[in-house]
């Protein structure tokens, strides 16, 4: 039984993920040490990882390409979940966001689940049209299918996740062979629409976060506070860090969202430059491995699964790291395998399971 589970599994990707999660659990434990019930956070994060690990081994046992034939139902679930958030969701009153669905004491973020379902469905749709990908009719159809969930996510509003969907879609289309002219049209369209999006789509707090990049520290007790504390935390770690459970910004709770979006500030302060570099290398290695495994895929669908997951992780990693040092707007994008959040951890592990399944098919055929 165990031999069957491990057969064909890419050991390097699995080892990289486990090592990264281990660092993440240490960071979450330290970030929540000052909370009233720190054990709860660690149990949720660790439990989500263990459940996700089961998925990592079970998903490759299935023929995911056959399951993808039900892409219409999967895409329908994507839309229903996003609509449900708008109708029944809850969030932060200060920003007017609605990103959670809560059932009693249990709550989850549908967007995290939707990211994986979106990659799965789009991989099948794009692969079905891959031979005629450059026909304008097909391009417009694929664009429409991608835009609908992006618009629903922005209505929450969640600009970071909306951009992530767009980025993943473009990368998958590029790999499928979309002509470069369409990308130029896309860039041109974004450039033309940017002023309209900035003034009429984005909310006040989102515009403030963009302006913060060009004028850092302009409101140290308001919109700039979170970023300033993050920079202080990372800078104070120096080479070796202050040690786990010993960081001033972390343990005194001066760093907001220290266990979630800004957990890299905890790593920088308590594990220092060395710990931060080790973590970044692990994350980049996971992304690289996803793309590398795509080259072994025996079908366009399997290739797009690996590429889609790699692109999603890449966006999350780069956006989060740039965000916490003030080089990108604060968007609430978590750091994969590190930031606290059961839904995000479970979704990330399922994504890895899909990559292993997509590459395992190739190995079963003896290549």
pLDDT at 19: 98
Burial label for 53, CB within 10 Å (0-12, 13-18, 19+), is: middle
Its pTM stands at 0.93
Stretch 160-185: mean pLDDT = 94
Angle formed at CA 146 by CA 358 and CA 338, multiple of 5 degrees: 55
State the sign of the Cα–Cα–Cα–Cα dihedral 62, 68, 73, 79.
positive
Residue 180, pLDDT above cutoff 50: yes
pLDDT at 203: 82
For residue 123, the tally of other CB atoms under 10 A from its CB is 29
Q: Name the DSSP class of 100.
A: B
Tokens of 201: 């789509």
Stretch 344-364: mean pLDDT = 85
Q: What is the mean pLDDT of the chain?
A: 89
Q: Which of 223, 119, 112, 111 is nearest to 175 (CA)?
A: 119
pLDDT digits (tens, 9 = 90+) for 102-126: 776 677 788 899 999 999 999 999 9
| Local structure of 263: helix, strand or coil | helix
Q: Which residues contact 36 (CB under 8 A, 6 or more apart)?
A: none
Q: Which residues contact 3 (CB under 8 A, 6 or more apart)?
A: none
pLDDT band at 99 (very low <50, low <70, confident <90, very high): confident
Strand partners, 108: 101
The alpha carbon of residue 292 and the mean position of all alpha carbons in its chain are separated, in whole angstroms, by: 19
> Do residues 322 and 264 touch, judged by C-beta distance below 8 A?
no
Q: Which residue range(s) make up the domain with 283?
A: 2-364
pLDDT band at 294 (very low <50, low <70, confident <90, very high): very high
> Do residues 337 and 202 touch, judged by C-beta distance below 8 A?
no
Q: Say how far apart CA 238 and CA 214 lie, in whole Å.
A: 25
Q: Say how far apart CA 99 and CA 157 lie, in whole Å.
A: 8
Q: Which of 17, 20, 39 is nearest to 29 (CA)?
A: 39
Phi, psi of 243 (to 5 degrees): 100, 150
Residue with tokens 């520290």: 217
**Which has the minimum average pLDDT: 6-10, 250-254, 266-270, 316-320?**
6-10
Please tell me which residue, 5 or 211, carries the higher pLDDT value.
Answer: 211
Number of domains composing the chain: 1
Residue with tokens 């500030």: 265
**Which has the minimum average pLDDT: 73-82, 196-205, 322-331?**
196-205
Q: Say how far apart CA 104 and CA 102 lie, in whole Å.
A: 6
Q: Say how far apart CA 122 and CA 137 lie, in whole Å.
A: 16
pLDDT at 361: 46
Alpha helices (H) in 197-239, listed in sequence order: 204-214, 225-236
Stretch 25-32: mean pLDDT = 96
pLDDT at 4: 59
Stretch 252-273: mean pLDDT = 95
Tokens of 23: 């660092």
Phi, psi of 276 (to 5 degrees): -65, -45
pLDDT band at 214 (very low <50, low <70, confident <90, very high): confident
Q: Which residues contact 148 (CB under 8 A, 6 or more apart)?
A: 79
Residue 270, pLDDT above cutoff 80: yes
For 344-353, b where at least 16 C-beta lie within 10 A, e where not — what string?
bbbbbbbbbb
Residue with tokens 């910004």: 249
pLDDT at 260: 94
Sheet strands (E) in the chain: 101-103, 106-108
């Amino acid at each position: 039984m165990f031999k069957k589970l491990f057969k064909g599994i890419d050991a390097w990707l699995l080892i990289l993920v486990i090592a990264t999660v281990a660092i993440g659990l240490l960071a979450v434990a330290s970030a929540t040490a000052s909370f009233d019930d720190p054990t709860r956070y660690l149990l949720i994060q660790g439990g989500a990882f263990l459940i996700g690990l089961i998925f990592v081994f079970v998903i490759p046992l299935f023929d995911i390409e056959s399951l993808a034939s039900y892409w219409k139902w999967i895409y329908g679930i994507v839309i229903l979940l996003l609509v449900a958030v708008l109708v029944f969701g809850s969030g932060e009153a200060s920003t007017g966001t609605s990103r959670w669905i809560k059932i009693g004491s249990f709550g989850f973020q549908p967007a995290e689940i939707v990211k994986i379902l979106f990659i799965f469905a789009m991989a099948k749709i794009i692969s079905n049209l891959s031979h005629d990908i450059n026909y304008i009719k097909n391009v417009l159809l694929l664009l429409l299918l991608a835009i609908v969930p992006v618009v629903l996510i922005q209505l929450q509003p969640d600009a970071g996740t909306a951009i992530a969907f767009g980025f993943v879609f473009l990368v998958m289309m590029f790999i499928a062979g979309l002509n470069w002219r369409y990308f130029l049209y896309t860039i041109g369209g974004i450039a033309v629409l940017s002023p309209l999006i900035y003034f009429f789509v984005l909310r006040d707090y989102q515009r403030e976060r963009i302006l913060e990049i060009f004028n850092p520290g302009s409101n140290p007790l308001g919109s700039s506070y979170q970023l300033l504390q993050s920079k202080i935390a990372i800078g104070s770690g120096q080479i070796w860090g202050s040690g786990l459970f010993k960081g001033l910004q972390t343990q005194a709770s001066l760093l907001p969202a220290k266990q979630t979006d800004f957990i890299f500030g905890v790593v920088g302060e308590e594990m220092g430059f060395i710990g931060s570099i080790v973590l970044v290398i692990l994350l980049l290695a996971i992304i690289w491995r996803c793309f590398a495994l795509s080259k072994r895929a025996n079908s366009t669908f399997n290739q797009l699964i690996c590429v889609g997951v790699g692109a999603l992780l890449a966006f999350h990693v780069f956006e989060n790291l740039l965000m916490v040092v003030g080089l990108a707007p604060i968007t609430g994008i978590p750091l994969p395998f590190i930031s606290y959040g059961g839904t995000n951890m479970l979704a990330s592990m399922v994504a890895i399971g899909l990559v292993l399944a997509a590459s395992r098919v190739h190995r079963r055929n003896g290549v």
